[in-house]
Amino acid sequence: MKKINTQLVAKQQGRILLAAKNCFFKNGLTKTTMRDIATEADISLGNIYRYFENKNSLIRAFIEKDNQEIDRAFALLDDANNFKTLLEYIIKEFISELSRKAEMCIYLEALVLGLRDGDVLSLLKLDNSEQSLKTSLQKASKDKRIELIVSAELAALIIMGFVEKAAVKCIADPKYSVRKANKQFKQCLKTLLR
Amino acid sequence: MKKINTQLVAKQQGRILLAAKNCFFKNGLTKTTMRDIATEADISLGNIYRYFENKNSLIRAFIEKDNQEIDRAFALLDDANNFKTLLEYIIKEFISELSRKAEMCIYLEALVLGLRDGDVLSLLKLDNSEQSLKTSLQKASKDKRIELIVSAELAALIIMGFVEKAAVKCIADPKYSVRKANKQFKQCLKTLLR
Amino acid sequence: MKKINTQLVAKQQGRILLAAKNCFFKNGLTKTTMRDIATEADISLGNIYRYFENKNSLIRAFIEKDNQEIDRAFALLDDANNFKTLLEYIIKEFISELSRKAEMCIYLEALVLGLRDGDVLSLLKLDNSEQSLKTSLQKASKDKRIELIVSAELAALIIMGFVEKAAVKCIADPKYSVRKANKQFKQCLKTLLR
Amino acid sequence: MKKINTQLVAKQQGRILLAAKNCFFKNGLTKTTMRDIATEADISLGNIYRYFENKNSLIRAFIEKDNQEIDRAFALLDDANNFKTLLEYIIKEFISELSRKAEMCIYLEALVLGLRDGDVLSLLKLDNSEQSLKTSLQKASKDKRIELIVSAELAALIIMGFVEKAAVKCIADPKYSVRKANKQFKQCLKTLLR
DNA sequence: GATGAATGAGAATTCATTCAT
DNA sequence: AATGAATGAATTCTCATTCAT
C-alpha cells in the first residue's frame, strides 16, 4: 500500500468505503467478501489492497466513518434550545435504525472485532456515541438548558444502554416495537433529567 | 428396545460443552472450529456429532446452559427481603463477569448468531436475562418489597442495558472500572425504584 | 463374519435384508447408511457386520433376492394359455413399479455397482429379467402358444429395453404416463409376436 | 466496465471439462472428487469454482457437451437419402461407445443424478437421444424417405431402449458382442419401419 | 495504477467400519 | 452374540490474499 497521489487515494478509498457500507448493510461484516466489495465498487479485487491493507483495516475505516456521522447527530444538541425534544428525536432515529437487523448485526460485529483487536478498539473510542452524548449532556447542563438528576456520564450510559437493548428487543420480540421503545424512552428520560 | 445410555450421553455432552467453553473463551464462537473442540475434549471429531447435531446446536446448548445460570441468579431475588441489596450484588457479579473480554465477546457473538439465525435466537429467548429480571421485579413490586418508579419492563430494560454498556466500557476504557460501574449502578437504581 | 448357527444366520440376514429394502426404497442405495439399516432392522450397527461382510455385499444380497421375485413373475408365463395378455399384465406391473423414482434409482444404482464391481455383476446375471423373459418366450414359442416374429432373445431385449426407457420417461416427462406406456407396449408387442 | 475474458473462460472450462472427462471415465461421476479433477487439470482446487459453480453444474456441463455430440449425429439423418443404412451406422457407433464400461457407468450415474436432482434432469432433457431420434424419424417419414410401422415416438423409444439394453449386455455377457447387437438391431429395425 | 486469475489453507459434516465391553 | 461408541479419512466449497501482466 504505497500512497503517492493523495487525491486519488482519497477518492478511491471513499469509493471503496461506500461500496463496503452497502455490502455490510446487506450481509453483515463477516459475510461480506472482498470480492463483493470490489464488485459493488466496480473496481478490481486486487486494487482494493492498494488502498486498504486488508479486510480488517477496511472495516476499521468503515467504523471510523460511521462514528463521525453519529458525532454529527449528537452535535446538533449543542445548540438546541429544547434539548429534550431534540434528544428524543435523535434517539428515535437511532433506535429506528439500529432495530433493523442488518444495522444491529454490523454494530455488534464491529463491537466484537473491536474488543478482540485493540486497533479497532482505539477507533471505537469506547463506544463513540456514549462519549458524544455525555459531552452534549454536560454542555446542556452547564448552559442550564437541562437539569441532570444523575451525572452526565451515567445518563449517557443509561441512555445508550437503553437504545441498544430496546433495538435488540425490537428485532427479537415480535410484541415489542419501535413505537413502544420511543414511549419507554420518554419515561426513561424523565428519571434522568428535568 | 433402544437403550439410550443417558448417563454416557450426559457425561459426553458435558465434556464437549466444557471443552467448547474453553475454546470459545480462547478464540470466540466463530473462530473456534469443531476440530479445536474435539482436540480439547480429547475426543474424535466425528464423535462430537453423535452428541450435537452441528456446530450451531452446540453453541445453542452452550448458551442455554449459560442462561440457566443467569436465571438461577435472578431467581434468588424472589425470596429476598432486601431486594435492592441483593440485586446490587447480583448485578455486580454480572458486570464483573461480562467485563471480561472473552465473556463479552461470546455474549455478543451469540447475539449476532441469534439475530441472523432464528434458531439460536429462540434460545436466547430474547435476552433471557431481561425477562428474568422483569419477572423478579414484578413479583417484588406485588409483594411490596420494592416500589417501582417506572414499569417493571422498562426498569429491566434499563438495568440490563446499563450492565452491558458498563461492561463494554470496563473493557474498552482503561479509566473505567468495575468498581465505578457498581457505584453508578446504585445511582441508576435510585432513579428506578424505592 | 463367522457363520455357526445357520438358523440364526438366516433369520438375521432376512431381517437385515428386509430393513435394507425399506431403506433403499426410501433413499436409494447410496444414500442409505448402515446406521439407517440397523435402526430399521432394530438391530445394533455392529451386528450387521456379523451377517454381511460390508455394505457392498449386503447390496449384492439384496439384488439377488430382488431378482428372484422377478424370476417368479416371469415364471407365471410358462403355464399361461393366453400368454400375450398375461405378459401385458406383467409388463404393466413392471413399468408401474419401475416408474417410481425410488425403484428406478435403485435399479440404476445397482446396475452401476454391478458394472463396476464384477461380483455384483455375476449376480445381476446380466440383467436377470431379460434372461427370464427370453426363456419364457422360448417355451411359449415351442408350445405354439405364441408365434415369434423375431428371435426370443431379441424380443426379450426389445421388451426389457422398452420397459426401462418407458419407465424413465414416466418419471422425467410429465406428458408421458404409465397409461400411455401400456398402450405403446401393446403396439410394440404386435411387432414382435402374433 | 466489466471485462469478462471470454476466451480464457472458454479455454479453462474446456480444460476442466476435459480433465473431468478423464476422471469420470476412470472412476465414475460419483467417485471422482473435485480435487481429482483439479489435479488432472493441473489447476488449483479453488480455481475450478471460478469456472463452475459446483460439482453438479460441472457434471451438467459435461453431459450437455455429450448430448450435443449425440444431437449432431442424429442430425445427419435429416438429409440422408438412405435413412435406414445411416441409422444403422449411427446406432452401431452408439452401441460401440456405450458398451464400454466407463461410458455406460457415466451414462447411468448421470441418469440417477438426473432422477434425484431436477437440475441435472432438465439437461438430460428426458434422454435427449430419444427426442432427437424421434424428430429425425418424423421428418424422414414426412419426406417419404421411410415408412413407419409404429409411431415415431414409439419407434424412438424402442430403438433407444434396445441400444441401452444391448450395450449393457455387451458389457455383462461375455457371449454377447457389439457385432451381434448390430445384427439384432437390423432385425429390430425391420419390425419398425420399411 | 489496475486487473482479475490463481492459490490453497481451512471449515463443517458424513459414514463405513472397528472393537472394547 | 450383540452392542453402539468411537474413529478419522474423505468431501465439497469458501475466501483473503498474492502476483504476473
Residue finishing a domain among B52, B70, B90: B52
Same domain? B102 vs B177:
yes
Q: CATH no. for residue C28?
A: 1.10.10.60
Residue finishing a domain among C9, C30, C53: C53
Q: What is the 3-state secondary structure (H, E, C) of chain D?
A: CCCCCHHHHHHHHHHHHHHHHHHHHHHHHHHCCHHHHHHHHCCCHHHHHHHCCCHHHHHHHHHHHHHHHHHHHHHHHHHCCCHHHHHHHHHHHHHHHHCCHHHHHHHHHHHHHHHHCHHHHHHHCCCHHHHHHHHHHHHHHHCCCCCECCCHHHHHHHHHHHHHHHHHHHHHCCCCCHHHHHHHHHHHHHHHEC
pLDDT, residue A2, reads 45
Identity of the residue in C112, C130, C169 whose CB atom sits nearest the CB atom of D105 = C112
Amino acid A71 reads D
Count of domains observed in chain A: 2
Cβ-proximal residues to D14 (8 Å cutoff; 6+ apart), any chain: none
Residue-wise pLDDT tens digits, C144-157: 999 999 999 999 99
Distance CA(A80)–CA(B6), nearest Å, equals 65
Burial class of residue A7, CB neighbours in 10 A (0-12, 13-18, 19+):
exposed
Q: What is the mean pLDDT of each run of 10 residues along chain B (194 residues)?
A: 71 95 92 95 95 93 88 90 93 93 89 77 68 92 93 96 93 90 95 91
What percent of chain C has a predicted confidence (pLDDT) above 70? 93
Locate cell 445460570: which residue?
B69
Same domain? D113 vs D185:
yes
Beta-ladder partners of D76: none
Locate cell 443417558: which residue?
B6
> Considering only CB atoms, which chain C residues are within 8 Å of D114?
172
Give the closest-approach CA distance of D44 to chain C in angstroms: 29
Least confident window among A13-17, B113-117, C170-174, D35-39: B113-117
pLDDT beyond 60 at D3: no
Distance CA(C66)–CA(C21), nearest Å, equals 9
pLDDT, residue C177, reads 93
Bases of chain F below 7 A from a protein C-beta are 1-20
pLDDT, residue C103, reads 87
Q: Give the predicted TM-score (pTM) of the model.
A: 0.86
Give the closest-approach CA distance of D105 to chain C in angstroms: 5
Residue-wise pLDDT tens digits, D8-66: 899 999 999 999 999 999 989 999 999 999 999 999 999 999 999 999 999 999 988 88
CB B120 within 8 A of CB B63: yes
Alpha carbon C155 to its chain centroid, in Å, reads 18
* pLDDT class of C126 with cuts at 50, 70, 90: low
pLDDT beyond 90 at D110: no
pLDDT, residue D117, reads 72
* pLDDT class of C2 with cuts at 50, 70, 90: very low
Which residue of chain C is at minimal alpha-carbon distance from D130?
A: C165
Residue finishing a domain among B26, B52, B78: B52
Same domain? D9 vs D71:
no
Kindly report the length of chain C: 194
Q: Dig out the grid coordinates for C62 from the structure.
A: 439384496
Same domain? D113 vs D170:
yes
Same domain? D8 vs D99:
no
Q: Dig out the grid coordinates for A25 from the structure.
A: 448493510
Same domain? B182 vs B86:
yes
Which residue of chain A is at minimal alpha-carbon distance from B150?
A: A187
Residue-wise pLDDT tens digits, C68-102: 888 888 889 988 888 999 999 999 999 999 998 88
Same domain? D166 vs D102:
yes
Same domain? C127 vs C148:
yes
Same domain? D78 vs D169:
yes
Locate cell 445453542: which residue?
B60
C109–D112 C-beta distance less than 8 A:
yes
What b-and-e string marks burial along B124-138, b requiring 16 or more CB atoms within 10 Å of the CB? bbbbbbbbbbbbbbb
Residue A58 maps to a domain = no
What percent of chain B has a predicted confidence (pLDDT) above 90? 64
Give the closest-approach CA distance of A4 to chain B in angstroms: 34
Q: Which residues on chain B place their C-beta less than 8 Å from a C-beta of chain A?
A: 28, 30, 101, 104-105, 108-109, 111-112, 114-116, 121, 124, 126-127, 130, 149-151, 153-154, 157-158, 160-166, 168-169, 171-173, 176, 184, 187-188, 191-192
pLDDT, residue B1, reads 40
Cβ-proximal residues to A176 (8 Å cutoff; 6+ apart), any chain: A166, A169, A170
Q: Dig out the grid coordinates for B181 from the structure.
A: 460501574
Same domain? C93 vs C156:
yes
Same domain? C94 vs C25:
no
Amino acid D159 reads I
CB A54 within 8 A of CB A98: no
Residue-wise pLDDT tens digits, A71-101: 888 899 988 889 999 999 999 999 999 998 8
What percent of chain D has a predicted confidence (pLDDT) above 90? 62
A164–B124 C-beta distance less than 8 A:
no
By residue range, what is the domain housing residue B39? 1-52
Task: Name the neighbours of B, counting chains with at least 3 Cβ pairs within 8 A.
Answer: A
Mean pLDDT across chain A, nearest whole number? 89
Bases of chain E below 7 A from a protein C-beta are 1-20
pLDDT beyond 70 at C140: yes
pLDDT, residue A138, reads 94
Distance CA(D121)–CA(D127), nearest Å, equals 9
B126–A115 C-beta distance less than 8 A:
no
Locate cell 421428418: which residue?
D139
Q: CATH no. for residue B84?
A: 1.10.357.10
Q: Do chains C and D touch (3 or more CB pairs under 8 A)?
A: yes
Smallest CA-to-CA distance from C122 within D173, D180, D104, D167 is with D173
> Considering only CB atoms, which chain C residues are within 8 Å of D104?
115
Residue-wise pLDDT tens digits, C38-61: 999 999 999 999 999 999 999 989
Torsion, CA C173, CA C176, CA C182, CA C188, rounded to 10: -80
Same domain? B86 vs B129:
yes
d(CA C47, C1' E21) / Å: 14
Tell me if residue B113 falls in helix, strand or coil: helix
pLDDT, residue C3, reads 47
Distance CA(C166)–CA(D157), nearest Å, equals 7
**How far is the CA of D13 from the CAs of D6, D37, D106, in angstroms?**
10, 12, 20
CB B158 within 8 A of CB B111: no
